[in-house]
Structures are given as C-alpha cells and as structure tokens.
C-alpha cells in the first residue's frame, strides 16, 4: 500500500521561484565569461530540478516487513517491530515533508539516528489504521488528535 505525502503546491512553487531569482541575481554578479554563465546556469537548473523532484516524489510504502519512506534519492526503511510510538507533531518543515501544514505525524523507532522521523501523509487516518495493523505493539493513542 502506497501513501503519498501532502505537498503544498504554493510553497513548492515559492521555493522554485526563489531558487531561480537568487540564481539570476548571482548569475548577473558573476558574468565574466560564457563558460561561467553556462556552469552557473547548469548548477541552478540542476538545483531546481532536484528540489522539485524531492518535493513531488515523497511517498510512504507499506512493504511486507518494513515501512519504506522515499523522497527523491533518499530512502528510510523502518522495520515494523522497531516502531515504538506514533504521535501527532506540530513541527514545521522537518522530516519528510514539504508542506506549510503543521499537523504531521512523528514516528518513533529504535533504529532511528535521531530517535524519530516526521512525515505528513495525505490520508493520515487511513495511514494510521494501516500502521496499527502492521505494528500492533506500537503505542498509538486512540484519543490523540491526528487530524
């Protein structure tokens, strides 16, 4: 089962435009030769494509033994047995999300480098129901507000 991340299109377009504006300003300041213009233009095009790819490719895949979180070239495999707790979070702009929404999910698991990962699936309630099926030992409180 695959769940896609909630993406704020206005925020993604804003980031896209800011990268291009700063790229154009930098390009104007460093016009020394044609090769410099080509190199800097290529760098900014690659940067914009990378940000756009990352923002639009974030998804959460329920595999047989683990939850796979993918965003661009980045992947996190979280074994179901290592998930200890799921709670709502109000941290903005952290984890695997590109959204202006401040109501995501934080998944705590034993093998995490920082103890947890923050995500924002489009369909949070169905995501949580599926996670409960696969992680019966994880603490997912019934009375917490996930919406």
Residue-wise pLDDT for 102-114, tens only, equals 678 888 888 877 7
CA-nearest of 78, 39, 79, 74 to 53 is 74
Q: What percent of the chain has pLDDT over 70?
A: 86
Question: Would you tell me how many other CB atoms lie within 10 Å of the CB of residue 107?
Answer: 27
68: confidence class by pLDDT, cuts 50, 70, 90: very high
19: confidence class by pLDDT, cuts 50, 70, 90: confident
When comparing pLDDT for 53 and 145, which is higher? 53
Domains assigned to the chain: 1-142 (2.30.29.30)
CA distance 134 to 147: 21
When comparing pLDDT for 8 and 99, which is higher? 8
When comparing pLDDT for 31 and 119, which is higher? 119
Q: Which 3 state secondary structure label does DSSP give 66?
A: strand
CA-nearest of 79, 128, 75, 77 to 106 is 128
Question: Is the model's pLDDT at 99 over the cut of 90?
Answer: no
Query: In 90-104, which positions are buried (b, 16+ CB within 10 angstroms) versus exposed (e)?
Result: eeeeebbbbbeeeeb
CA-nearest of 9, 2, 17, 13 to 101 is 9
pLDDT digits (tens, 9 = 90+) for 23-66: 777 777 767 777 777 877 788 788 878 877 877 788 999 999 99
Structural element, H or E, at residue 127: helix 124-134
| pTM score of the predicted model | 0.74
């Amino acid at each position: 089962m695959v769940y896609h991340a909630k993406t704020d299109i206005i925020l993604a377009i804003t980031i896209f435009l800011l990268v291009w504006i700063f790229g154009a300003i930098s390009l104007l300041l460093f016009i020394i030769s044609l090769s410099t213009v080509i190199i800097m233009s290529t760098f900014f095009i690659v940067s914009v494509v990378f940000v756009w790819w990352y923002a639009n490719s974030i998804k959460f895949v329920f595999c047989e033994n683990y939850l796979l979180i993918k965003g661009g070239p980045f992947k996190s495999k979280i074994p179901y047995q290592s998930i200890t707790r799921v709670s709502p979070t109000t941290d903005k702009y952290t984890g695997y999300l590109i959204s202006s929404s401040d109501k995501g999910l934080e998944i705590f698991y034993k093998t995490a480098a920082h103890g947890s990962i923050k995500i924002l699936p489009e369909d949070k309630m169905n995501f949580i129901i599926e996670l409960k099926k696969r992680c019966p030992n994880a603490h997912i409180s019934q009375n917490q507000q996930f919406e």
